[in-house]
C-alpha cells in the first residue's frame, strides 16, 4: 500500500529522535474499495523509530480477529524518508516488505514488496495530496492516489475531512485468483476446495479503482495520540473474470464503510 500524504512536520527540523509504539483496530480490510467475500477485521500492534533527519523504520503485525480464523495474517517491515521542500510542500519516500500468511484471504496478500512516494502542498484553503508507487507480486502493479483535505484544529483536537481516488493496474487481483485464494475456489482461509482456475482480462490496464470519503479525527494528550478514521469507499470499474470452464463474469463490487481506531505513544 502506498501512503497518500506525508506526515506534517514543523517548519524547522525535528530537534530529537523518538520511538512510537501503537495499537490499531481495522473493522474490515477493504483494499482499493474491494473485498473478496469475507469481512476481515485486524488488530495491529506496531513500533517505529523516527530519526530527527527524517529517516524512519518500523514494524507492524496484522492479527485477524474473525471467528474461527484468529491468526497472524501479515507482518510488515517498513522504512522511509520524510522531507520538506518549503513551508507548504512536504514529501515522503517509502518501502514496505510484507510477510503474508500462506492462508490469508486478504486481497493484498499476494504483494511481497511495495515502494512509494507521496507529496502534499498546502494551499491554506485546501491541501493537495498525490502519491505513486509500485507493488510487486507475480507481475508489478502501478498504484496512484490523488486527494484533497483540510484540517480544522480545536486545541488538541484535529478534524481533517478528505476526498481522494485511487487508480492503478490489477495484476495483484489476477495473482490472487490464480493462487486460489478467492471464495470462488471454496477458500475460507483454510485452503481451496475447488480446482477451477480464474484470471481477469486486461490486468495491466490502468484504471480508476475507487473513490474514498474520509473524516479522520485525532486527539493528542501529552505523549499519547488517539485516532478515529471513518472511511466510505466507492469502487468502480469491476474486472472481467474468466474461468478454466470458459465462463465469464463481472467482479462483484459494492460500497463499504470502514472504521479504523488507533492509539500511539511517543517516547
Of the candidates 5, 6, 84, 76, the residue with the CA atom closest to the CA atom of residue 44: 76
- pLDDT higher than 60, residue 52: yes
Do 143 and 209 form a contact (C-beta atoms < 8 A)? Answer: no
- pLDDT higher than 50, residue 6: no
Mean of the per-residue pLDDT values of the chain: 91
Contacts of residue 46, defined as CB under 8 A and 6 or more positions apart, other chains included, come to 20, 21, 22, 23, 24, 58, 59, 60, 61
Ranking 37-41, 66-70, 212-216 by mean pLDDT, the lowest is: 66-70
- pLDDT higher than 70, residue 12: no
pLDDT tens for 211-247 read 999 999 999 999 999 999 999 999 999 999 999 999 9
Helix (H, G, I), strand (E, B) or coil at 33: coil
- Give pLDDT, residue 176: 95
Do 34 and 236 form a contact (C-beta atoms < 8 A)? Answer: no
Question: What is the CB neighbour count within 10 angstroms for residue 153?
Answer: 10
Q: pLDDT over 70 for what percent of the chain? A: 94
Ranking 8-17, 178-187, 217-226 by mean pLDDT, the lowest is: 8-17
Length of the chain: 267
- Give pLDDT, residue 14: 53
Ranking 67-76, 132-141, 246-255 by mean pLDDT, the lowest is: 67-76
Task: Give the pTM.
Answer: 0.90
Q: What is the mean pLDDT of residues 90-112?
A: 95
Rounded-to-integer distance, Cα 258 and Cα 170, Å: 22
169's grid cell: 493496474
Q: Residue 165 — very low, low, confident or very high, per pLDDT cuts 50/70/90?
A: very high
Q: Which residues pair with 25 in a beta bridge?
A: 43, 261
- pLDDT higher than 50, residue 192: yes
Q: What is the mean pLDDT of residues 109-138?
A: 96
Q: Residue 8 — very low, low, confident or very high, per pLDDT cuts 50/70/90?
A: very low
- pLDDT higher than 80, residue 3: no
- Domains (ranges, CATH) in the chain? 18-266 (2.40.160.40)
Q: Residue 9 — very low, low, confident or very high, per pLDDT cuts 50/70/90?
A: very low
Rounded-to-integer distance, Cα 153 and Cα 175, Å: 43
Amino acid at each position: 500500500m502506498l501512503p497518500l500524504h506525508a506526515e506534517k512536520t514543523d517548519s524547522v527540523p525535528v530537534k530529537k529522535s523518538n520511538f512510537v509504539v501503537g495499537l490499531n483496530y481495522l473493522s474490515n480490510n477493504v483494499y482499493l474499495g474491494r473485498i473478496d467475500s469475507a469481512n476481515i477485521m485486524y488488530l495491529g500492534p506496531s513500533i517505529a523509530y523516527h530519526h530527527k533527519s527524517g529517516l524512519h523504520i518500523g514494524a507492524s503485525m496484522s492479527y485477524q480477529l474473525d471467528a474461527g480464523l484468529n491468526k497472524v495474517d501479515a507482518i510488515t517491515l517498513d522504512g522511509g524518508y520524510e522531507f520538506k521542500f518549503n513551508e507548504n510542500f512536504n514529501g515522503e519516500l517509502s518501502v514496505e516488505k510484507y510477510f503474508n500468511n500462506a492462508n490469508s484471504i486478504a486481497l493484498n496478500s499476494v504483494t511481497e514488496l511495495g515502494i512509494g512516494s507521496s507529496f502534499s502542498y498546502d494551499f491554506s484553503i485546501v491541501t493537495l495530496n498525490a502519491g505513486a508507487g509500485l507493488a510487486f507480486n507475480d507481475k508489478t502493479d502501478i498504484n496512484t492516489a490523488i486527494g484533497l483535505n483540510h484540517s480544522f484544529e480545536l486545541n488538541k483536537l484535529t478534524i481533517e475531512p478528505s476526498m481522494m481516488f485511487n487508480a492503478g493496474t490489477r495484476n495483484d487481483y489476477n495473482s490472487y485468483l490464480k493462487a486460489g485464494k478467492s471464495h470462488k475456489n471454496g477458500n475460507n482461509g483454510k485452503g481451496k476446495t475447488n480446482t477451477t482456475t480464474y484470471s481477469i482480462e486486461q490486468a495491466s490496464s490502468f484504471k480508476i479503482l475507487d473513490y474514498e470519503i474520509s473524516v479522520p479525527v485525532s486527539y493528542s494528550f501529552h505523549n499519547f495520540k488517539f485516532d478515529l478514521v471513518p472511511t466510505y469507499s466507492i469502487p468502480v470499474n469491476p474486472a472481467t473474470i474468466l474461468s478454466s470452464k470458459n465462463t465469464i463474469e463481472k467482479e462483484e463490487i459494492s460500497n463499504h464503510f470502514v472504521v479504523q481506531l488507533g492509539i500511539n505513544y511517543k517516547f
